[in-house]
Amino acid sequence: MDADRISRSADRFVTISDPIVAGIERGWIVHDASKLDRDLHVEADVAIVGTGAGGGVAAEILSMAGLRIVMIEEGPLQSSTDFHMLEREAYPNLYQESAARKTKDKAITILQGRTVGGSTTVNWTSSFRTPPATLAFWRDRYGLTEYSPELLAPWFERMERRLDITPWQVVPNENNAILQRGASGLGIPTAVVSRNVKGCANLGYCGMGCPINAKQSMLVTTIPAALDRGAVLVHHARAERFSLQRDEISGLVCSALDARDQTTLPYAITVSAKAYVAAAGAIGTPALLLRSRLPDPQRRLGARTFLHPVVLSAAAMPKAVDAFAGAPQSIYSDHFLYANRIDGPAGYKLEVPPVHPLLMAVTMPGFGVGGAQLIGELRRLQVILALMRDGFHDDSQGGTVELKRDSAPVLDYPITDYLWEGMRRAFLTMAEIQFAAGAKSVLPVHESAWPYTSWKQARAQIAALPMEILLARVVSAHVMGGCAMGAAGRDSVVDGNGRHHLVDNLYVFDGSVFPTSLGTNPQLSIYAIAARMATRLAQTLGRTTRPPKV
């Protein structure tokens, strides 16, 4: 890596002002529940649980409409001052279950944020509109007639403007460039990713919290805007359950967590509001509703939770790749998403992940000298990932959120043969692309694989790999669904405006409302859909908001 160049370009940011520190000095109302010494009661017009993509957008729009807002977040309030680009700090501090959340059978590792800003504080900034084919499926199957590219366009435009989402102009880092070169050598089209960044120094540490506030996450955009309008933030506070009185929520009970977010303190946090917005993310929102024992006659709650399950392929390149440096995702290919019908054999999107030592070491197969040699080649490692589009085929029903004995959630997600078949094709695609880009060897990330030295060898060996859990490494950073929206209560939990079908003043504005997966990275879909839903809620509550400019 040209370390010099990076520190030089970062020199422009020598004095990094921290908008959170500054806001607190200006007098934001922020309660750190881990420091409580008595019970806390908060009243507001709208209570929002979770401060990620959905919660952040809702907080800004509702507070701009003049409503009194309280935000409840189970994670800590950390900001650029705390972001040191160190994996060993970031994963335990900013991620659910130290970035080691697993599905019930331990077959899939799930990355989700748990901090103010939610997953947007740690995500990789790739921004895509909801694919038209996905929206068409929702209109056909779920009666979501207003979910068309045309009707959503103003909401996408609004959020793209708000979060500085534009195609990445800088030359892709070598990790991404290899995807581009290998694919184009095989005639597979690729394109440039759009990112939500402003003044990005191309550092590559988005996953550990952006140290210079270039990433336009909820932490530095919508949440400060809401706090500037007098919204209240309570962090280290876990929403435990809603109280239901007749058809309405009458209050929200939260617990205060200690500074390390593990044990609960003996103080009660209660919230009363006119309307309640659950935005605790997929898994989090269904879990909250399950704990609240809300009516769910068709047992839809928590069902059909999707992951875009990811498989990976690691190549040893002849020269340094330094995939830990530079914007993590700048090139992608949707070619294999649309090779078949959306409800046909599993399609997949190709991207690359950033390659940092800890995450790579836990992800790569093997141990001892074999494993050591792989990680020893960190600088020459190039990794491609394939995210499988789940939820469109009868044999891809996703997973189900359950509550454990201690009422913490767990996702039971069986990987079906339908998905395994797609994953095997994806291993082949990725290996072929890597060899086309000049890889010395390619290792499908699977315990029974080893670094193959030719495409011919790889093709034969991948065809024979046992596609089984806890042999193939499967990960996910895109949890969606579990509180599906739809026109009818038969197959959904909320309506197209995010309003609960059976509980009058309860709304869900986050990634859990998707009735299927998206087939693309979710953040922009959540921003736009939450903006639309929040604007309608403001109107319902008698407030007007600026309609998005068309």
Ligand X SMILES: Cc1cc2nc3c(=O)[nH]c(=O)nc-3n(C[C@H](O)[C@H](O)[C@H](O)COP(=O)(O)OP(=O)(O)OC[C@H]3O[C@@H](n4cnc5c(N)ncnc54)[C@H](O)[C@@H]3O)c2cc1C
Interface with ligand SF4 (CB under 6 A): 125, 197, 200-206, 210, 212, 214-215, 327
400 binds, among ligand SF4, ligand X, other proteins, none (CB under 5 to 8 A by kind): none
305 binds, among ligand X, ligand SF4, other proteins, none (CB under 5 to 8 A by kind): none
122 binds, among ligand X, other proteins, ligand SF4, none (CB under 5 to 8 A by kind): ligand X
How wide is the angle at C-alpha 447 spanned by C-alphas 441 and 449, nearest 5°? 35
Contact 166, 156 (CB under 8 A): no
Taking each helix axis from N to C terminus, what angle separates 174-185 and 417-436, rounded to the nearest 10 degrees? 90
Instruction: State both tokens at 131.
Output: 């694919």
The least CB distance from residue 325 to ligand SF4, in Å, is 9
For the chain, helix, strand, coil in percent to 5 are 35, 25, 45
Of residues 510 through 549, those in contact with other proteins by CB under 8 A are: none
469 binds, among other proteins, ligand SF4, ligand X, none (CB under 5 to 8 A by kind): other proteins
Identity of the residue, 15 or 245, whose beta carbon is nearer to ligand SF4 in the bound complex: 15
Q: Which of 95, 193, 130 is nearest to 524 (CA)?
A: 130
14 binds, among ligand SF4, other proteins, ligand X, none (CB under 5 to 8 A by kind): other proteins
Contact 141, 158 (CB under 8 A): no
The least CB distance from residue 331 to other proteins, in Å, is 22
Stretch in the footprint of other proteins (CB under 8 A) among 170-178, 218-226, 296-304, 353-361:
353-361
Could you write out the three-class secondary structure of 152-201? HHHHHHHHHHHCCEEECCCCCCHHHHHHHHHHHHCCCCCEECEEEECCCC
Of residues 210 through 229, those in contact with other proteins by CB under 8 A are: 211-212
- What is the distance between the alpha carbons of residues 13 and 23, in angstroms, rounded to a whole number? 20
- What is the distance between the alpha carbons of residues 331 and 352, in angstroms, rounded to a whole number? 8
Identity of the residue, 208 or 534, whose beta carbon is nearer to ligand SF4 in the bound complex: 208
Contact 248, 300 (CB under 8 A): no
84 binds, among ligand SF4, other proteins, ligand X, none (CB under 5 to 8 A by kind): other proteins
361 binds, among other proteins, ligand X, ligand SF4, none (CB under 5 to 8 A by kind): other proteins
Identity of the residue, 245 or 263, whose beta carbon is nearer to other proteins in the bound complex: 263
Q: Contact between 13 and other proteins (CB under 8 A)? A: yes
Identity of the residue, 239 or 465, whose beta carbon is nearer to ligand X in the bound complex: 239
The least CB distance from residue 99 to ligand X, in Å, is 8
The only residue of 141, 181, 198, 379 in contact with other proteins, by rule CB under 8 A: 379
Contact 447, 465 (CB under 8 A): no
Q: Contact between 464 and other proteins (CB under 8 A)? A: no
Contact 520, 128 (CB under 8 A): yes
Instruction: State both tokens at 474.
Output: 């499967």
The least CB distance from residue 115 to ligand X, in Å, is 6
Identity of the residue, 218 or 483, whose beta carbon is nearer to ligand SF4 in the bound complex: 218
Instruction: Annotate 149-171 with b (16+ C-beta within 10 A) or e (fewer).
Output: eeebebbbbbbbebbbbeebeee
Of residues 413 through 442, those in contact with other proteins by CB under 8 A are: 440-441
Identity of the residue, 359 or 467, whose beta carbon is nearer to ligand X in the bound complex: 359
